[in-house]
């Protein structure tokens, strides 16, 4: 019989691998023949600016895996410290010439101290929160995306998650200077 921990690990693996099913390979084209190697050029400042803007755009066509650590101090009467490490892969996939599907998953790894005790606590995986955005492949002045947001009860302990399946809407809109 599968334990709750086994089911949680299976759900996390399935959730993360499902996001990769949208991956697309670029068409293979033969490389042009070159007589002599051209000297390498350093990336320009505009390339660096474009990359910086893309990393700040939640619906950009850029695969990234941000990792965010949150420490919460003075938890409970014994001033314990809670720690949450969020792994947040963002995977865009072009689903047509005009549309992108952006998958954003938040998977927390949690240290939850027992608030009413001086020592001890729970360590493990928290509830997984995938969000999907449908966004124009070539956005205009306003960059936007809409889609579902979910919470799956994948926590390895009842202390580390809600124990509920949740669904709701998600909307993002932003304007970047110079876009």
The tens-digit pLDDT sequence of the chain (179 residues) is: 445 555 555 454 545 444 444 444 444 444 445 444 444 555 566 777 777 776 666 666 788 999 999 999 999 999 999 999 999 999 999 999 999 999 999 999 999 999 899 999 999 999 999 999 999 998 888 989 999 999 999 999 999 999 999 999 999 999 877 65
Q: Which residue has the tokens 């009842």?
A: 158
Tokens of 37: 């190697």
pLDDT of residue 70: 98
Quote the pLDDT of residue 150.
98
Q: Which residue bears the tokens 């729970």?
A: 122
Contact 54, 93 (CB under 8 A): no
Q: Residue 136: what are its φ and ψ, rounded to 5°? A: -60, 140
The pLDDT, as a whole number, for residue 60 is 65
| CB contact burial 83-105 (16+ within 10 A = b; e otherwise) | bbebbbbbbbbeeeeeebbbbbb
pLDDT value of position 176: 78
CA distances from 42 to 36, 47, 48, 132 (A): 19, 10, 11, 36
- The residues, any chain, with a CB within 8 Å of residue 168's CB and separated by 6 or more, are 148, 149, 150
> For position 80, what pLDDT does the model report?
96
Q: Give me the pLDDT at residue 7, please.
A: 56
């Amino acid at each position: 019989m599968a334990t709750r921990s086994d089911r949680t690990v299976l759900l996390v693996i399935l959730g993360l691998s499902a996001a990769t099913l949208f991956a697309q390979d670029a068409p293979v084209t033969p490389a042009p023949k070159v007589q002599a190697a051209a000297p390498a050029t350093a990336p320009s400042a505009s390339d660096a600016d474009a990359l910086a803007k893309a990393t700040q755009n939640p619906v950009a066509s850029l695969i990234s895996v941000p990792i965010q650590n949150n420490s919460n101090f003075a938890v409970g009467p014994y001033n314990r410290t809670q720690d949450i490490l969020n792994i947040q892969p963002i995977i865009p996939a072009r689903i047509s010439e005009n549309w992108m599907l952006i998958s954003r998953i938040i998977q927390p790894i949690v240290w939850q101290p027992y608030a009413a005790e001086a020592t001890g606590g729970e360590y493990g995986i928290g509830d997984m929160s995938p969000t999907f955005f449908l966004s124009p492949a070539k956005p205009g002045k306003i960059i936007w995306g809409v889609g579902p947001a979910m919470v799956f009860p994948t926590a390895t302990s009842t202390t580390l998650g809600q124990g509920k399946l949740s669904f709701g809407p998600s909307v993002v809109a932003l304007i970047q200077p110079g876009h």
